[in-house]
Structure 1
Amino acid sequence: MHTGTVMVLPLPPQHEQRAEDAARARVRLVPTRRGRLLLTGLAFLLGLLVAAAVLLTVDLPAALAGTESEQPVTITVEAGDTLWGYAEEFAPEAMSEQEFVAEVRTLNHLPTGRVTAGQQIELPVPGDASR
Protein backbone atom coordinates (compact mmCIF):
# COMPACT_ATOMS: atom_id res chain seq x y z
CA MET A 1 0.00 0.00 0.00
CA HIS A 2 1.29 3.39 -0.92
CA THR A 3 0.79 6.37 1.29
CA GLY A 4 1.43 9.88 0.07
CA THR A 5 1.73 13.25 1.59
CA VAL A 6 -1.12 15.67 1.19
CA MET A 7 -0.74 19.37 1.73
CA VAL A 8 -3.72 21.00 3.46
CA LEU A 9 -4.12 24.72 2.95
CA PRO A 10 -5.53 26.70 5.82
CA LEU A 11 -8.88 28.45 5.34
CA PRO A 12 -8.75 32.22 5.39
CA PRO A 13 -9.90 33.80 8.62
CA GLN A 14 -13.58 34.71 8.84
CA HIS A 15 -12.98 38.46 8.97
CA GLU A 16 -11.04 38.39 5.66
CA GLN A 17 -13.86 36.42 3.98
CA ARG A 18 -16.47 38.92 5.16
CA ALA A 19 -14.41 41.79 3.78
CA GLU A 20 -14.25 40.12 0.34
CA ASP A 21 -18.04 39.51 0.36
CA ALA A 22 -18.68 43.14 1.30
CA ALA A 23 -16.38 44.32 -1.48
CA ARG A 24 -18.20 42.13 -3.99
CA ALA A 25 -21.58 43.43 -2.83
CA ARG A 26 -20.45 46.98 -3.62
CA VAL A 27 -19.39 46.09 -7.16
CA ARG A 28 -21.85 47.43 -9.71
CA LEU A 29 -21.85 46.26 -13.30
CA VAL A 30 -22.37 49.03 -15.83
CA PRO A 31 -23.08 47.82 -19.37
CA THR A 32 -21.14 49.42 -22.17
CA ARG A 33 -22.78 50.93 -25.23
CA ARG A 34 -22.11 47.73 -27.17
CA GLY A 35 -23.58 45.67 -24.32
CA ARG A 36 -26.75 47.77 -24.27
CA LEU A 37 -27.12 47.42 -28.04
CA LEU A 38 -26.62 43.68 -27.79
CA LEU A 39 -29.26 43.34 -25.05
CA THR A 40 -31.70 45.52 -27.00
CA GLY A 41 -31.15 43.46 -30.15
CA LEU A 42 -31.65 40.20 -28.29
CA ALA A 43 -34.87 41.50 -26.71
CA PHE A 44 -36.11 42.62 -30.14
CA LEU A 45 -35.36 39.24 -31.72
CA LEU A 46 -37.05 37.44 -28.84
CA GLY A 47 -40.14 39.63 -29.35
CA LEU A 48 -40.18 38.81 -33.07
CA LEU A 49 -39.93 35.09 -32.34
CA VAL A 50 -42.79 35.24 -29.85
CA ALA A 51 -44.95 37.24 -32.29
CA ALA A 52 -44.23 34.78 -35.12
CA ALA A 53 -45.06 31.82 -32.88
CA VAL A 54 -48.35 33.42 -31.85
CA LEU A 55 -49.29 34.19 -35.46
CA LEU A 56 -48.50 30.64 -36.55
CA THR A 57 -50.45 29.02 -33.73
CA VAL A 58 -53.46 31.36 -33.82
CA ASP A 59 -53.70 31.29 -37.65
CA LEU A 60 -54.51 35.00 -37.74
CA PRO A 61 -54.51 35.31 -41.57
CA ALA A 62 -57.39 32.84 -41.80
CA ALA A 63 -59.25 34.68 -39.06
CA LEU A 64 -58.84 38.00 -40.88
CA ALA A 65 -59.81 36.51 -44.24
CA GLY A 66 -62.92 34.91 -42.81
CA THR A 67 -64.16 31.37 -42.86
CA GLU A 68 -65.36 29.50 -45.90
CA SER A 69 -68.98 29.92 -44.84
CA GLU A 70 -68.63 33.67 -45.43
CA GLN A 71 -67.72 33.20 -49.10
CA PRO A 72 -70.40 34.11 -51.64
CA VAL A 73 -72.75 31.27 -52.52
CA THR A 74 -72.61 30.21 -56.19
CA ILE A 75 -75.82 28.92 -57.71
CA THR A 76 -76.89 27.86 -61.20
CA VAL A 77 -79.92 29.69 -62.50
CA GLU A 78 -82.82 27.43 -63.46
CA ALA A 79 -85.59 28.21 -65.93
CA GLY A 80 -88.06 30.73 -64.50
CA ASP A 81 -85.69 32.00 -61.74
CA THR A 82 -85.29 35.74 -61.26
CA LEU A 83 -83.05 37.91 -59.12
CA TRP A 84 -86.15 39.08 -57.25
CA GLY A 85 -87.02 35.47 -56.45
CA TYR A 86 -83.52 34.93 -55.12
CA ALA A 87 -83.88 38.13 -53.10
CA GLU A 88 -87.05 36.80 -51.45
CA GLU A 89 -85.32 33.51 -50.64
CA PHE A 90 -81.76 34.52 -49.75
CA ALA A 91 -81.76 38.20 -48.71
CA PRO A 92 -80.80 38.81 -45.06
CA GLU A 93 -83.40 40.44 -42.84
CA ALA A 94 -81.37 43.65 -42.58
CA MET A 95 -81.23 44.04 -46.39
CA SER A 96 -84.16 44.96 -48.62
CA GLU A 97 -84.88 42.94 -51.76
CA GLN A 98 -83.90 45.92 -53.92
CA GLU A 99 -80.52 46.20 -52.15
CA PHE A 100 -79.99 42.45 -52.54
CA VAL A 101 -80.67 42.59 -56.30
CA ALA A 102 -78.28 45.56 -56.64
CA GLU A 103 -75.63 43.66 -54.65
CA VAL A 104 -76.02 40.55 -56.86
CA ARG A 105 -75.73 42.67 -60.01
CA THR A 106 -72.58 44.36 -58.68
CA LEU A 107 -71.05 41.10 -57.47
CA ASN A 108 -71.63 39.36 -60.83
CA HIS A 109 -71.03 42.41 -63.08
CA LEU A 110 -74.52 42.12 -64.60
CA PRO A 111 -75.57 45.09 -66.78
CA THR A 112 -79.28 44.32 -66.18
CA GLY A 113 -81.32 42.33 -63.69
CA ARG A 114 -81.99 39.55 -66.20
CA VAL A 115 -80.51 36.09 -65.76
CA THR A 116 -80.73 33.08 -68.06
CA ALA A 117 -81.09 29.39 -67.31
CA GLY A 118 -77.72 27.66 -66.83
CA GLN A 119 -75.95 30.88 -65.82
CA GLN A 120 -73.93 30.70 -62.63
CA ILE A 121 -74.19 33.65 -60.27
CA GLU A 122 -72.83 34.43 -56.84
CA LEU A 123 -75.12 35.52 -54.05
CA PRO A 124 -73.73 37.72 -51.27
CA VAL A 125 -73.49 36.40 -47.73
CA PRO A 126 -75.54 38.03 -44.95
CA GLY A 127 -72.55 39.71 -43.27
CA ASP A 128 -71.25 41.09 -46.59
CA ALA A 129 -73.67 43.99 -47.02
CA SER A 130 -70.85 46.58 -46.90
CA ARG A 131 -69.72 46.17 -50.53
Structure 2
Amino acid sequence: MTAITAPMAHRTRLRLTARGRRLLTAVAALPAAIALAFAVVSGGAALATIDDGAPAQSFATVTVSAGDTLWSIAEDIAPTADPRDVVDAIVRLNALDGAQISAGQSLAIPAEYAP
Protein backbone atom coordinates (compact mmCIF):
# COMPACT_ATOMS: atom_id res chain seq x y z
CA MET A 1 0.00 0.00 0.00
CA THR A 2 1.14 3.45 -0.73
CA ALA A 3 0.76 6.35 1.65
CA ILE A 4 -1.29 9.30 0.50
CA THR A 5 0.16 12.65 1.47
CA ALA A 6 -1.75 15.86 1.48
CA PRO A 7 -0.36 18.66 -0.64
CA MET A 8 1.34 21.39 1.40
CA ALA A 9 -0.62 24.59 1.63
CA HIS A 10 0.99 27.50 -0.09
CA ARG A 11 1.62 30.41 2.31
CA THR A 12 1.06 33.86 0.92
CA ARG A 13 2.68 36.90 2.41
CA LEU A 14 0.67 39.91 3.38
CA ARG A 15 1.44 42.70 0.98
CA LEU A 16 0.54 46.31 1.64
CA THR A 17 -0.21 48.36 -1.37
CA ALA A 18 0.52 52.07 -1.50
CA ARG A 19 -3.15 52.73 -0.74
CA GLY A 20 -3.00 50.39 2.28
CA ARG A 21 0.13 52.11 3.63
CA ARG A 22 -1.58 55.52 3.32
CA LEU A 23 -4.64 54.23 5.14
CA LEU A 24 -2.56 52.65 7.91
CA THR A 25 -0.60 55.88 8.36
CA ALA A 26 -3.79 57.94 8.50
CA VAL A 27 -5.37 55.66 11.13
CA ALA A 28 -2.20 55.74 13.25
CA ALA A 29 -2.00 59.56 13.07
CA LEU A 30 -5.69 60.13 13.84
CA PRO A 31 -5.37 60.39 17.68
CA ALA A 32 -2.59 62.98 17.39
CA ALA A 33 -4.60 64.99 14.86
CA ILE A 34 -7.64 64.99 17.16
CA ALA A 35 -5.54 66.13 20.14
CA LEU A 36 -3.97 68.90 18.06
CA ALA A 37 -7.38 70.06 16.82
CA PHE A 38 -8.72 70.12 20.38
CA ALA A 39 -5.74 72.22 21.53
CA VAL A 40 -6.23 74.68 18.66
CA VAL A 41 -9.99 75.00 19.22
CA SER A 42 -9.60 75.52 22.97
CA GLY A 43 -6.91 78.12 22.35
CA GLY A 44 -4.32 76.07 24.20
CA ALA A 45 -6.15 76.63 27.49
CA ALA A 46 -6.17 72.93 28.32
CA LEU A 47 -2.41 72.71 27.87
CA ALA A 48 -1.78 75.91 29.87
CA THR A 49 -3.70 74.70 32.91
CA ILE A 50 -1.76 71.45 33.00
CA ASP A 51 1.62 73.17 32.92
CA ASP A 52 0.95 76.43 34.74
CA GLY A 53 -1.80 75.56 37.21
CA ALA A 54 -4.47 78.11 37.95
CA PRO A 55 -3.79 81.70 36.94
CA ALA A 56 -2.61 83.84 39.86
CA GLN A 57 -5.62 86.16 39.81
CA SER A 58 -8.30 83.43 39.71
CA PHE A 59 -8.64 83.03 43.48
CA ALA A 60 -8.21 84.69 46.85
CA THR A 61 -7.20 82.94 50.07
CA VAL A 62 -8.81 82.70 53.47
CA THR A 63 -7.32 81.26 56.67
CA VAL A 64 -9.51 78.79 58.55
CA SER A 65 -10.30 79.85 62.15
CA ALA A 66 -11.12 77.49 65.03
CA GLY A 67 -14.68 76.17 64.64
CA ASP A 68 -14.96 77.07 60.96
CA THR A 69 -16.50 74.62 58.52
CA LEU A 70 -16.64 74.77 54.76
CA TRP A 71 -20.33 75.58 55.05
CA SER A 72 -19.72 78.54 57.41
CA ILE A 73 -16.93 79.86 55.21
CA ALA A 74 -19.20 79.55 52.16
CA GLU A 75 -21.95 81.50 53.92
CA ASP A 76 -19.47 84.20 55.00
CA ILE A 77 -17.84 84.78 51.63
CA ALA A 78 -20.97 84.47 49.45
CA PRO A 79 -24.11 85.19 51.48
CA THR A 80 -26.33 85.44 48.38
CA ALA A 81 -25.07 82.27 46.68
CA ASP A 82 -26.15 78.70 47.35
CA PRO A 83 -23.65 77.40 49.98
CA ARG A 84 -23.57 73.97 48.29
CA ASP A 85 -22.20 75.51 45.10
CA VAL A 86 -19.62 77.55 47.00
CA VAL A 87 -18.48 74.56 49.08
CA ASP A 88 -18.17 72.48 45.90
CA ALA A 89 -16.07 75.19 44.22
CA ILE A 90 -13.78 75.46 47.27
CA VAL A 91 -13.35 71.67 47.47
CA ARG A 92 -12.51 71.43 43.75
CA LEU A 93 -10.13 74.41 43.76
CA ASN A 94 -8.23 73.11 46.80
CA ALA A 95 -8.40 69.44 45.71
CA LEU A 96 -9.79 68.43 49.11
CA ASP A 97 -10.66 64.78 49.73
CA GLY A 98 -13.64 65.69 51.89
CA ALA A 99 -15.02 68.39 54.13
CA GLN A 100 -12.32 68.10 56.78
CA ILE A 101 -10.44 71.37 57.34
CA SER A 102 -8.33 72.49 60.26
CA ALA A 103 -7.66 75.80 62.01
CA GLY A 104 -4.78 77.69 60.42
CA GLN A 105 -5.24 76.02 57.05
CA SER A 106 -5.18 78.37 54.07
CA LEU A 107 -7.94 77.80 51.53
CA ALA A 108 -8.16 79.21 48.03
CA ILE A 109 -11.48 80.90 47.33
CA PRO A 110 -12.66 81.18 43.69
CA ALA A 111 -12.53 84.75 42.41
CA GLU A 112 -16.27 84.79 41.77
CA TYR A 113 -16.86 84.42 45.53
CA ALA A 114 -13.84 86.37 46.77
CA PRO A 115 -14.68 89.29 49.05
Q: TM-score, normalised by structure 1?
A: 0.40
Higher RCO (CA 8 Å, separation ≥ 6 residues): 2
Q: In proportion to residue count, which structure has more helix?
A: 1
Task: Tell me which structure has the larger Cα radius of gyration.
Answer: 1
Q: TM-score, normalised by structure 2?
A: 0.45
